[in-house]
Amino acid sequence: MNPSVKFLAITVCMFTMAFFFDPWTPFVFWIAVLVLQVFLSQINWKKWLLFMLPFFVTAFGYFWTTLVFAEEQSGPVVWSIWNMHITEVQLNHALSLSFRVLAFSSLSLLFAFTTNPVTFILSLMQQLKLSPKIAYGVMVGYQFLPVLKDEFVQIQQAHRLRGAAQEKNALQRLLGIRRILIPMLAGAVRKAERAAFAMEARGFTGERRSSYFQVISIGKVDVVLVVLFLIVLVLSCTNGLWLS
């Protein structure tokens, strides 16, 4: 699917979900997104569950803190524990926040797992007219991420060989990162300078070109999937309004 079209479709879905405060709309939408992922994507589900674990914890945290620290609401009591009484309004509010976190996170991971970052940047330039200066700067920075990761490991190993990294607990290890950040920052500045000289030597001025080496087009599949997204969105909103 065209990354820009997919980005716009997911953004519209998230923006629409933000205006529904009942628990059923984000829940139905989240289930529908999971069904789409099962049948249309090739996502590794073990990896998906690993990345979703923090969001499940966050959703549970929203649910529990909203029930415990919310102001007293009028309405029928649906749950009582110790001296705390949970009303129907409080429970609906807590479920709404939790399901909204799960719906937003599932959409974000769907985009992240099914989108190539370089193709996304090229699509932003071609379909959404992003400035080439910004686009190529982001693309070069993305290509340098694996290099910076390797450099981080090398600096850590150099410190261990010199006996400078003898942290014994998590706090000391966290504070010890400061010794690594300074040489990494200096290395990043040197890499950015070399990349800028190389791009200038190859005639890159940041002007928009009339043609591209890799053309990202919008096809029939994009139209079909956008219609499918909109159908899921409309059905979720309709079901949410009906169930509430």
Residue 65's pLDDT is what? Answer: 86
Residue 104's pLDDT is what? Answer: 92
Residue 66's pLDDT is what? Answer: 83
Q: How many structural domains comprise the chain? A: 2
Specify if 67 maps to a domain: yes
109 with 223, same domain?
yes
148 with 33, same domain?
no
Cβ–Cβ under 8 Å, residues 92 and 68: no
139 with 117, same domain?
no
149 with 187, same domain?
yes
Q: Which domain holds residue 18?
A: 3-121+217-243
117 with 136, same domain?
no
Specify if 37 maps to a domain: yes
Q: What is the 3-state secondary structure (H, E, C) of the chain?
A: CCHHHHHHHHHHHHHHHCCCCCCHHHHHHHHHHHHHHHHHCCCCHHHHHHHHHHHHHHHHHHHHHHHHHCCCCCCCEEEEECCEEEEHHHHHHHHHHHHHHHHHHHHHHHHHHCCCHHHHHHHHHHHCCCCHHHHHHHHHHHHHHHHHHHHHHHHHHHHHHCCCCCCCCHHHHHHHHHHHHHHHHHHHHHHHHHHHHHHHHCCCCCCCCCCCCCCCCCCHHHHHHHHHHHHHHHHHHHHHHHHC
Specify if 210 maps to a domain: no
Specify if 185 maps to a domain: yes
Distance CA 14, CA 8 (A): 10
Residue 138's pLDDT is what? Answer: 82
Specify if 207 maps to a domain: no
Specify if 127 maps to a domain: no
Please give the backbone phi and psi of residue 195, each rounded to the nearest 5 degrees, phi first: -65, -40
In tens digits, the chain (244 residues) has pLDDT values of 899 999 999 999 889 888 888 888 899 899 988 888 888 888 888 888 899 999 999 999 988 888 777 665 566 666 666 666 777 778 888 888 899 999 999 999 989 898 888 889 888 888 888 888 888 888 887 778 888 888 888 887 877 777 665 666 666 667 667 777 888 888 888 888 888 888 888 777 767 777 777 788 888 989 998 998 889 888 888 877 776 6
